Amino acid sequence: MLLDPNFPEQLDRVLKIFRQSTPVSLPTETVYGLAAPLNDEKAIAKVFSLKNRPTFHPLIVHVLDWMMAESYVDDCSELAKILIRAFWPGPLSLMLKRKKSKVPDLVTGGSDFVVLRCPKHPVFRNILSRWNSPLVAPSANRFSGISPTDCYSVLKELGPFGLEAVVDGGECALGLESTIVRIDSDTKISILRHGAVSAEQIKEILPDGVRVFSGVTDKNAPGSLEKHYSPAKKLYFIEAEEDLKKLTKSELKEMALLKVLEKDASWIDESLFKNRFILSTRNSDIEAASRFFRVIRRLDESKVYKAIVACATANKGLGVAINDRLLRASK
Ligand code: TXA
Ligand code: MG
């Protein structure tokens, strides 16, 4: 069922479906989520099975504001409050100590920490405020697949597996998942998943002397599955000229070249490929991010290309999050 948020009675449907312990896909400003009530283990079990996701893989808890979040965490440091004031509502998720009696084990994979996110999308916020309690929402794709950034992609991903409904909130403005941050001490934080808020943006608002650690290699870190965000087609991630040498000219002729920014990989001979795609011809990492999953999905579905050759972009701004996803998509 495709629901239109412009009709209040269609949004009422969402609440009704939640009451039947069934998840609904909702738009966020990052990617579409598969939402279910936090306190309903039956609905959460359906989230895992619809996504074909192993249950040790924890879910992000979505709240309307800090007031809604407060009673679900054990303590909140000054640094966390600074980040919340700067970025909520918006795509910065925070890992905090969970209150065990309020956040089920199933949601955190048994961990003592819960990841909290306060989405900005008006449709998601409307539902949260009417439900008046947190919702879990992983991205609405099958496990290790490409995150959906419009409702039709959600239907393609999860429709065949019994998704009950998706609310059409248009295309996601940002197009990359939220950035996940852990507070390690009063002077150190770690970026566990790079996403729609860049490390530079975070550093800008932190007090002097706080270090931002990124590139966590912990195997259990969020989004740290080696293979993730993957198309069905082979995607080659090219970081240097020699990476291209593994492919023959006749193979390249059947492939799509994907560049993040026009100015990336200026050494590459674009005429070797069947076609080229550039996520931002005006070299904007924000524009590139907003088109990223949509273009990968289209190239994956196209019958014209046998494979995708994606070039690394500069590791700054949203380029860090994009490179991270391209690398995992290539596995
Ligand atoms: O932008 C987003 O964050 C989107 C939208 C729908 O809000 N959601 C999203 O959820 O990306 P998901 O489940 O696709 O990715 C969340 C990542 C996963 O890699 C998960 O392992 C990690 O966050 N995660 C969630 N809770 C965690 C926890 N308590 N401890 C460690 N990792 C956690
Ligand atoms: Mg995901």
Decide whether any atom of ligand 1 lies within 6 Å of the 90 Cβ.
no
Decide whether any atom of ligand 1 lies within 6 Å of the 31 Cβ.
yes
Q: What does the alpha-carbon distance between residue 254 and residue 228 come to, in Å, rounded to a whole number? A: 24
Provide the pLDDT confidence category of residue 224 given band limits of 50, 70 and 90: low
Mean pLDDT of 298-327: 97
Average pLDDT, the chain: 95
Q: What is the pLDDT of residues 75-113, one digit of tens each?
A: 789 999 999 999 999 999 999 999 999 999 999 999 999
Q: What does the alpha-carbon distance between residue 127 and residue 119 come to, in Å, rounded to a whole number? A: 11
Decide whether any atom of ligand 1 lies within 6 Å of the 28 Cβ.
yes
Question: Which ligand does the CA of 176 lie closest to?
Answer: 1
Give the residue, out of 177, 190, 290, with the most ligand 1 atoms within 8 A of its beta carbon, to mutate for a pocket test: 177
Q: Residue 220 pLDDT more than 80?
A: no
Q: Which pLDDT value is given to residue 239?
A: 95
Q: Which residue has tokens 């596995």?
A: 331
Assign 282 to helix, strand or coil.
Answer: coil
Rounded distance from Cα 247 to ligand 2 centre (Å): 30
Q: Which pLDDT value is given to residue 223?
A: 53
Provide the pLDDT confidence category of residue 218 given band limits of 50, 70 and 90: low
Share of the chain above pLDDT 70, in %: 97
Q: Can you give the pTM of this predicted structure?
A: 0.96
Residue 25, H or E segment: strand 24-26
> Is there a contact between 228 and 329 (Cβ–Cβ < 8 Å)?
yes
